[in-house]
Amino acid sequence: MAEITQRDGTWSFDGDTVRIVPGRDKRVNPARQALGELAVPLEALAGIAYEPGRRTGRLRLKLREGADPLLQAAGGELPEAADPYQLPVDSERAGVAEYMVDEVRQALLLEQVDAEPCDRYLLPGPSVPLSASAGDGTASFDGEQIRLEWNWKTEQAKKSGGPRVFPVSDVEAVQWSPAKGLENGYLRFALFKVPTSAPPKYDPYAVVMYGLKRDPLMALVAAAVTARLPHPAGPPEPADAVPVALTKDPAALGGGAGQGGDGGGDTDHDALLRRLRELGELRSNGVLTEEEFTAVKQAVLRRF
């Protein structure tokens, strides 16, 4: 067992998991405090290092590419203060930090952990429900729906449409970018069939960030949504991804609508609502797991 406690938090390693607990000091970044405790499995690690300094050194965990939805969503642009995989270490605790490095490296060697990129997330992402306010709005996510609300700093053209509420199944991609120099940052949701070329300040599916301390909180919302989207390195989903084995009547899940026939738009809409209700009942009755329900629902929506 290796453990080190500093102002910014505590790291411990039991041979299988690196456990990261953020510090309670008021100077600890709000995003790290909101993210809470992390349990990083050994298989998610690509390495660990201690960088000594004159007064303060730094412990760094390197995760395998694609293992963590937070790092995936942030695209390597999290500020150091908000990065949970960095720990400032007082120089007098350097020996403890180096001991942890040795323990983790030895475990990686013994277990022969592959450092290659992942094709699935090995961490679950931030817990939901989750809400963050920064810049010109508030973004909330309950695991199924995203809600964007506006404040007095929002451009009137965007605010006039009111809050935006949409299911995660409508999201094609999540884009998070911090403020850089004189350019504002943003959290943007790219939706299927809702193309836009509007800048974030006018985009009703984007929150603008001004480079303040709370901006990384928006990265947590981005990560929670990203964790529920298909992994970018995962196998491509087939056009018809409905798992037929889950029902005796495949048409009840995915067939029928959108494949021709006499029904118009209203008929298609009614059929869509009926199928989504049926899927919800299958999930409630335990026939579908949450993961299966999400996959089937996305497949049905794509059909329509």
Amino acid (1-letter code) at residue 152: W
Query: Which uninterrupted H or E stretch holds 278?
Result: helix 265-284
Per-residue pLDDT of the chain (304 residues; tens, 9 = 90+): 899 999 999 999 999 999 999 998 888 999 999 999 999 999 999 999 999 988 899 999 999 999 999 999 999 999 999 999 999 999 999 999 999 999 999 999 998 988 899 999 999 999 999 999 999 999 999 999 999 999 999 999 899 989 999 999 999 999 999 998 888 999 999 999 888 888 999 999 999 999 888 899 999 999 999 999 999 988 776 554 444 334 434 444 444 444 444 444 555 666 667 777 777 766 776 656 777 677 777 766 765 5
Neighbours of 146 (CB within 10 A): 22
- Look up the pTM and report it: 0.75
Q: In whole angstroms, what is the distance from residue 116 CA to residue 156 CA?
A: 47
Which DSSP string do the residues of 182-194 spell out, in sequence order? TB-EEEEEEETTB
